[in-house]
Structure 1
């Protein structure tokens, strides 16, 4: 865990900056930016430097990195701007102004924002249509205390700056599908966000915690996913990549996990990988109970410049492998330039090559030195941007 002395120094440093800005309202935006050191990571640098970001929200579609690529298919002349004004939910006949109407009923390129702070209790899981962006920046949006989000056979979706928590399992029932038509949906386990046969999905700057099953599942052939800048906390099973041991289509799964903050009080699956490949880079791991990164069915992993802070008591080992009927020597679990504190250790695959992400030009990004991970991840999770302070 981070030492009390380190926390004390960071807190006083942050408080000092806050006071300087608060009592110097005439500071220019450039001066505020310099004080707050917004150049924390490549994604945030792309849009948070712009003082007029509210007028140019769609700029963020050009800021994604990793396997999702750029999200420029979500913007353009045909873009529909939709504002959520009503926190209520009707899973079969959504009303105009509700989140479900914008995310499930409207088809085409939809950019969803919110009129004000909201607590949304979904009656049934929200099935999000292709080419939809849910943008919670500037307000405080909670989706909590019942059903949560599902991306089912959809593509080109952004979920940004939402607090998703206390999600509960759901019985089968009728719900508005991602194609604008009512469908029958089977039982749902209680995940914050579940991907099923989905592609080009970007999940950025959300806060997820305390859900009945897991926080994020990427399953059943889903691929080309980037999970970035999120805060995962207070959870047993955090992130699952790959449906089950028998679902071989997940061998084609490619996921980037970057700039996330895991913890406190996370037990396991950060992530657990089946079959596919994950590039896990520049994340902060604030302890675990069973393990941080694990897998089964011969997955491949490149763990690069992450900071693993082992718990004071319990398991210090980062990884877990369920070899089962597979040959554990055929696995590729590699650690490159990772940092380890409090006795953390990483059991790497012996021999073989370090698997490369093989990113295209638009997917690629620079993985920075692990000593900067605390700075890179200090803004992880959903945030509220005010008119007087930079986002």
Structure 2
């Protein structure tokens, strides 16, 4: 039985697996305009490896999130994904772990930097360590040098229209969720945070007016 308006909107639907994108009608709060990858195709993640951050293998989560077109990303089975570097997500994406037990763990975290319209839903993120930096592909047609990361579970930097829902998070090296550099229109709902002190950071500097 659903106990809140978001869950009652989708979770009790018997055919949710055939109509996953109904989820976008359920977002409330500051991120209520977020639609993620609902205007795009489904992308099925079949491979939990993350061996090549410059030329990600098709079927991996990293290959999915760097695509420039809208995508609704789902998982072929339950899996643990150990990210070798931060996972840089392009705009107009949904990462939807419903129907599988998906863990991003014992590696690097997720970065939303200068993007918009991203949904992350129903995954576990835990035991996140700082990224070592280096050359990382952030889109189909671009890669660049990244500095050493802080070890955040999810880093939201200069981004808007973000919805984080039903995410279980614990034990990141730095914060579980950082939302900084003027990030706005964000809803964080139905999430579970444990075994951590610095859970959420909203705005990082008094000197930056947009924070």
Q: What is the TM-score when the length of structure 1 is the normalising length?
A: 0.52
The structure richer in strand per residue is: 2
Q: Separation in 1 of the partners of 2:65 and 2:141?
A: 9
* Equivalence for 1:316: none
**Shift of residue 237 of structure 1?**
0.5
* Equivalence for 1:230: 191
The number of aligned residues is 210
**Shift of residue 244 of structure 1?**
1.9
**Shift of residue 249 of structure 1?**
1.5
Q: Hey, which bits of structure 1, 4+ residues long, moved more than 6 A?
A: none
**Shift of residue 74 of structure 1?**
3.3
Structure 1 unaligned segments of length 5 or more: list them. 1-36, 251-391
Structure 2 matches for 1:1-391, cutoff 5 A?
Answer: 37-38=1-2, 40-72=3-35, 74-76=37-39, 79-89=40-50, 90-104=52-66, 106-178=67-139, 180-250=141-211
**Shift of residue 73 of structure 1?**
6.1
Structure 2 unaligned segments of length 5 or more: list them. none
Q: Separation in 2 of the partners of 1:67 and 1:236?
A: 25
The structure richer in helix per residue is: 1
Q: Separation in 2 of the partners of 1:235 and 1:180?
A: 37
Of structures 1 and 2, the larger Rg is shown by 1
What RMSD over aligned residues (CA atoms) do the two structures have, in Å? Answer: 1.2
Secondary structure of 1:46 counterpart:
helix
Secondary structure of 1:60 counterpart:
helix
**Shift of residue 245 of structure 1?**
2.4
Q: 8 Å contact 2:36–2:94 — kept in the other structure?
A: no
Q: Separation in 1 of the partners of 2:208 and 2:34?
A: 28
**Shift of residue 178 of structure 1?**
4.4
Q: 8 Å contact 1:62–1:70 — kept in the other structure?
A: no
* Equivalence for 1:358: none
Where relative contact order (Cα < 8 A, 6+ residues apart) is larger, the structure is: 2
